[in-house]
Structure 1
Amino acid sequence: MSFAPDEQRAFRRENRWNVTSVLMGCTMGAWFSILRERAADVAWLTYGHRVVVLTLSAAFHSAVSVVESLVYGRTVAAQPVRDDPVFVLGHPRTGTTLVYNLLGMDTASFIYPTTYLTTFPFTALALRPVKGLVSRALPKTRPMDNMELGLDMPQEDELGTNALSGGVSLVMPIVFMTRALDYFPYFTFERAPAGKFDAWRRALHLLLRKAAVLAGGQGPRRMLLKSPMHTARVRLLDGMFARASYIYIFRHPFAVFQSAANMAEKTYSLTYLDDPTDAQIQEFILAQFELLLDEYLAARERVRDRLLEIRYEAFEADPFAGVCSIYAHFGWPMPMRDELRAHCAQLRASYAKNDFRELTPGLKALIYRRWRRAFDVFGYEP
C-alpha cells in the first residue's frame, strides 16, 4: 500500500526503549504461541530487548498462574456468564472511553474488567497482595489523550482476551503492524482459521468470570464492556448475549483520524515488535474504520430495540446530560446520579484536550474518499 505524498501522514516513533506491553501479562504458553507465528517479523535489532523482557515476564506469570488455578480455579469456574452485558461500541477515538468511564462510576449498577485484570488476566487474583506496587508504577493518565488511568478503572476486555487466547485478537496489530491485515479475520471470525473463535470465546468468558470474582460477585449488576473491536461483532455478540444492550458513539471522521494518528505515535509505538512503514500504519487506521463501520451498519437493525446511538460532539459538550440520556433511553434507574453529576462537572473543569496536527488537503480528500459513508450516514460535512 502506498499513498501520494500529499496524502501520507508521517508518524513519529516514540519510546523505543519502553518495555511495558499489551503482552506483559502472558504466560509462556500464550507468549510462545505468538512468537512461533511471528518470530520472523520481529525487528530484532530495534526491539529485541522487548522480546527478552516479555519472555522473562511470561516465565513469572506462568509460575504464578499455577498458584492462581489451584487456589481460585473452582471459584472462577462457578461464576456464571450472564447474557445481559452492556456494550459500548464505536471506532477507536470516538469517545468510547469517556462513555465507559462515566458509566463505570455507577458501581451500584455495573461491574467491569479493570485495568488490573486486563493487564494480568492469568494472575490478577493471586497477585492481589502486591497490587499496590503495580499501582505506584502506573502513569496517572493515558499517553494519547490525558484521560485518567487507574488499576481499578474500567478497561477494554480485548486487552485481557488477547493474552488469554494467545493473540487471537485485534490488539495484535499494534504489536505486529506490518502484519495487521492478517488479524482482520478476528473482527467477525467469519474467515478466521478453525478453532480461533472458540479460543477467543473461552478467553472472554474466563475474563468475565474473573471480573465478577474481583468485583465481589455480580449480583444484580450488569457487566459493562468496551472494546472498539466489538463494533464489528454485533451479530456475533447478539448470538452470545441475547439480552445485551448496545451504546454506539460516533464522531466527525476528520477528528477520528487525527486522534487515531496521535494514538499511533504515542501508544502503538510503545508496543511494536516490528518496524512498520508510515503507509502501513495509515492503512491500518483507514481499513479498520471501514470494516468497523460496514459491519456495524449491516447489523444495527438486528438490535435496534436494545441500541442507542449518540454523537460525540454533543456528549462531550455536556457529559452529564449525555449520561442521563443513556439511562433514560434504556429505562435504567440512576442510583448514583449526584456522584455522576459532580464528577462530570469536575471533568469539564479540569480535562485538557489534545492539540492535533492539521490535516493536509490531500489527506482530507483521502479520508473523505475512504470514509465517505460515515460522513453521509451521520451527517458530517467534509
Structure 2
Amino acid sequence: MSQLPRVRSSDGSPDTPVAAAKTYREGIIRPWPLWAPRFWHGMPLNVWLSLAAEHRWRASPSRWGLIVTITMAATFNWLAARICEARFGRRFRSPPITPPPLFLIGHWRAGTTLLHELFMNDERFCCPNYYKCFAPSHFLLTERILTPALSWILPAKRPMDDVTLSLDKPQEDEFALLNLGAPSPYRRIAFPITSSPHPEALDLTTLPQSELDRWRHTMRRFLNMLAVADPRRPVLKSPPHTARIGVLTEMFPESKFLHIVRNPFNVFHSTMRLWLSLHQGHGLQVDRGDTLEEYVFEAFEQMYTAFERDRAKLAPGQLHEIRYEDLVADPVGQLEEAYKQLELGGFETIRKSLEKEAVTMKKYHASTYRPHSRIDAEIARRWQPFLDRYGYAAP
C-alpha cells in the first residue's frame, strides 16, 4: 500500500508550507518520464502562444527543451485543426442530437475517476478518452492514425497513484477545454510561479461576460465534436464542474449530476501531492510549492461555495450524491441507487460486469496519510460546513 509521507509539525521539524510541499513531493510514486508528452503538446499554436505570452515565456532553464517541442507540436496541431475543420466542420456545426450529458462531479481525489470508469460498463454511454482530451482540435481527423504511434510513449500509470494510463481510457473534459483555449484553472499547471496564487476560472460566474461566453462556446464545440465521433449519451467527469453546475444546467437543462464526496482530510493531502506531481511533470517552471497549500484550501472553498449556491437551481432527480467510502465498500449497490435516483434505467444490463469490477477493486489500495496537526486543524476549521453536511470527523 502506498502511503503519503508524514508531514512533520510542532516538534522542531519542518512545518512551513514550503517544507510541507517538499515532503509531499518526496512521496510522489513515480516522476513523469522526460520523453512522455505534456498537456501542452496538444494545444494548437494560437492557444499555446497565448498561454506562453501571458507569462512572457518565463520557463525555467531545465524546461527550455519542452518549450521547443511544444511549439513544434502546436504548429502541427494548428495545421491538423485547419484540415479537420475543412473536412468535418459542417458535421460538428450541425451534430447528431444526443441525450443530455451526465456529469460526474466532486473535488479532485474524491473518486471521480473511479466513477467514470465504472460508468463505462454501460454501453449506452460514451466518454471522451485521453486522446480526445489531449488533441481536441483534431481528434476526428487523427485519432485512429496517431493513437498507435503515441501509445508507446505514455507512462503505464499516473505519477500520484496506481491508476493505469491509456489513450483509450476515460479522461476529464477539462483538459479538452484547456487545449481548446477556454478559461481553465489548469493553465496554472504550466506556469505555477507566475500564475495567480488564487483559483481562476473555477467558479465561472467570476469571469467577465466575454470569457464566460467563450467558455460556453468552447464547451459546446467540444461536445458537438464528441457527438460526431460517438452519438451516445456523454458521461463527463471533471472536478472543476463541481463549481459550475449553475452554468451547466443553464446550458443543458435536462442534464444529470452525480456528486461524489470523500473524507476531506484524505482529499487535502492527496490533492497536495496531485498538484505537486503535475507541476513537477508538466510545469514549465520549477515550483517549490510556496503558495500551494493556501491554493488547495481556497479552491475547495470556492468550489463548494459555488456548488451550495447553485444546487437549488437543480430539479428533483437531477442530482444524486454518494460517498467514496460507500462506493468502494459496495460499488454495485451504490451505482444501482444512483441509477434509480437519476432515472437512468437499464441497470440490470450492467450488473454482472459491475460485480466483476467489484472483485478487481478489492485489490486496489488507495493512498493513505498520517495526521498532521497544523494542517488537519486548519481543515477542520475552514471546511467545517462540508464535514457537517457529509458526516465526516477530524482524525
Contact kept, 8 Å, 1:16 with 1:269, in 2: the verdict is no
- 1:32 and 2:49 matched: yes
- 1:310 and 2:342 matched: no
**Corresponding residue for 1:239?**
250
Equivalent residue for 2:388, pick from 370, 376, 379: 376
Contact kept, 8 Å, 2:128 with 2:236, in 1: the verdict is yes
Q: TM-score, normalised by structure 1?
A: 0.90
CA drift of 1:48 comes to 1.8
Inter-partner Cα distance in structure 1 for 2:195 and 2:296: 10
Equivalent residue for 1:279, pick from 282, 287, 290: 290
CA drift of 1:85 comes to 0.9
Aligned residue pairs, count? 371
CA drift of 1:233 comes to 0.7
- 1:162-201 equivalences under 5 Å are 162-165=178-181, 168-181=183-196, 184-201=199-216
Cα 1:373–1:277 change in 2 (3 A) is farther
Equivalent residue for 2:40, pick from 8, 15, 23: 23
- 1:45 and 2:61 matched: yes
- 1:71 and 2:84 matched: no
**1:62-110 deviations in whole A, cap 9, x for unaligned?**
22222212222222222156572111111101111111110122122x1
**1:238-290 deviations in whole A, cap 9, x for unaligned?**
11110011111111111001211221233332111223332312122111111
Cα 1:290–1:18 change in 2 (3 A) is farther
Cα 1:87–1:198 change in 2 (3 A) is same
- 1:6 and 2:15 matched: yes
- 1:333-352 equivalences under 5 Å are 333-334=346-347, 335-348=349-362, 350-352=363-365
Local SS of the residue matching 2:158: coil
**Corresponding residue for 1:230?**
241
**1:204-255 deviations in whole A, cap 9, x for unaligned?**
112112222222xx1xx32111111011111111111100111111111110
Inter-partner Cα distance in structure 2 for 1:328 and 1:98: 19
The answer to which of 312-321 and 175-184 deviates more is 175-184
CA drift of 1:298 comes to 1.4
**Corresponding residue for 2:3?**
none
Counterpart code for 1:313? E
CA drift of 1:122 comes to 1.2
- 1:259 and 2:236 matched: no
Contact kept, 8 Å, 2:55 with 2:194, in 1: the verdict is no
Cα 1:363–1:182 change in 2 (3 A) is closer
Inter-partner Cα distance in structure 2 for 1:210 and 1:278: 37
The answer to which of 31-40 and 249-258 deviates more is 31-40
> Could you list the runs of 4 or more consecutive aligned residues of structure 1 that deviate by over 4 angstroms after TM superposition?
13-19, 80-83
Local SS of the residue matching 1:224: strand
Inter-partner Cα distance in structure 1 for 2:243 and 2:99: 19
Counterpart code for 1:6? D
Cα 1:197–1:81 change in 2 (3 A) is farther
Inter-partner Cα distance in structure 2 for 1:30 and 1:366: 38
CA drift of 1:177 comes to 2.1
Contact kept, 8 Å, 1:16 with 1:47, in 2: the verdict is no
Contact kept, 8 Å, 2:177 with 2:184, in 1: the verdict is yes
Gaps of 5+ in 2: 1-8
Counterpart code for 1:343? E
- 1:206 and 2:218 matched: no
